[in-house]
Homo-oligomer: A and B are copies of this chain.
Amino acid sequence: MNMGRILEDVIRKNSANTDRITAENTIGYVVAENSTGVVAESSFDNTSAQAIVKHMHGVLVAAAQSMVRDLDPPNKLCYMRVATRKFEYLIAPEEVFTITVLQ
């Protein structure tokens, strides 16, 4: 299954989240491949997209996944919302990709 198909599948499956990608109040989004951190799609410039992938996908999602498992091994992280003073990160880690929407 090629990357394009997987990406479409991920975006369709996260439609609730990805609908927000096109919603007016969305500041932007990043879709990146988990294993490589490569940005597959983003509304941001590359530097900003890479920073979000490095910090949110690389560090925060990884920390959340292990904390969830440490507390309850059979459990699994599905989705995170990080509300900050200026905007909110909605992060949906999937099998191959992770989608982050800022709103």
Contact = CB atoms under 8 A, between A and B. Distances in A.
B72 A79 contact: no
**Copies of this polypeptide in the complex:** 2
Contact of A84 (B60, B63, B75, B84): B75
B82 A68 contact: yes
Interface size class of A (residues with CB under 8 A): 20 to 34
A1 interface: no
21 contacts: A51-B70, A52-B71, A56-B67, A59-B63, A60-B60, A60-B63, A60-B64, A63-B63, A67-B82, A68-B82, A68-B84, A72-B86, A74-B86, A75-B84, A75-B85, A77-B83, A77-B84, A78-B83, A78-B85, A79-B83, A81-B81
